[in-house]
Amino acid sequence: MDTSTHIPSANFSRENFELFLIHEARLLDERRFREWMMLFTDDGTYWVPAVPNQESPFNQASLFYDDRQLMKTRVERLEHPLIHVQTPPSSTVHLVGSVSIESHDDAAGEVVVASSVIMADYRLDNQRVFAGRQTHRLRRVDDHWRIVQKRVDLANCQSAFEAIAVPI
């Protein structure tokens, strides 16, 4: 087991959650998408709203709104050798910072962690940069933290984007 994802459930230190987020970013940068998906609970979701202050993924379209099944489908597509939007595959670098614990609920075994994220995506001599705030709602599962919801609010979410194939 990779100890960087094992945070003792009683330890609510900012540093430990920062290490968790850095580990998640590294999985994405190394295209270890199946391992990334395993960070999520069975009911976990990954959401990137399409407008500022979007309150629900159900009232309007989102850039991403993946439940576990849709994540699995997305990962399978990303692993396919002929996926046209990823041939050749993107090279990404995620930078996570300004990590803060927003709230915690000891009874539910959950914590909300906010942070800044910047992702540089390089493919076919084209580099794009995505930046925003992300919020992770984490739940204790068998003494490990797992993602219940990852929400990424991009600074320019309402802009027109060329296809975003890889998770931010």
Mind listing the pLDDT tens digit for each residue in 12-59? 789 999 999 999 999 999 999 999 999 999 999 999 999 999 999 999
Q: What is the pLDDT of residue 11?
A: 62
For residue 64 the two structure tokens come to 């991403």
Q: What is the pLDDT of residue 26?
A: 98
Helix (H, G, I), strand (E, B) or coil at 8: coil
Which whole-number Å values give the CA distances from 121 to 96, 116, 128, 138, 159, in the listed order? 15, 16, 5, 26, 17
Element (H, E) at 46: strand 40-49
Q: What is the pLDDT of residue 85?
A: 76
Q: Which fold has domain 3-154?
A: Nuclear Transport Factor 2; Chain: A, (3.10.450)
Residues 68-81 have a mean pLDDT of 90
pTM for the whole thing?
A: 0.89
Q: What is the pLDDT of residue 8?
A: 47
With a cut of 80, say whether residue 1 has pLDDT above it: no
Instruction: Round to whole Å and give the CA distance between 156 and 168.
Output: 13
Percent of the chain whose predicted confidence (pLDDT) is above 70: 93
pLDDT band per the 50, 70, 90 thresholds, residue 4? very low
Q: What is the pLDDT of residue 153?
A: 97
CB distance 119 to 92 below 8 Å: yes
* Summary mean pLDDT of the chain: 90
Q: What is the pLDDT of residue 159?
A: 86
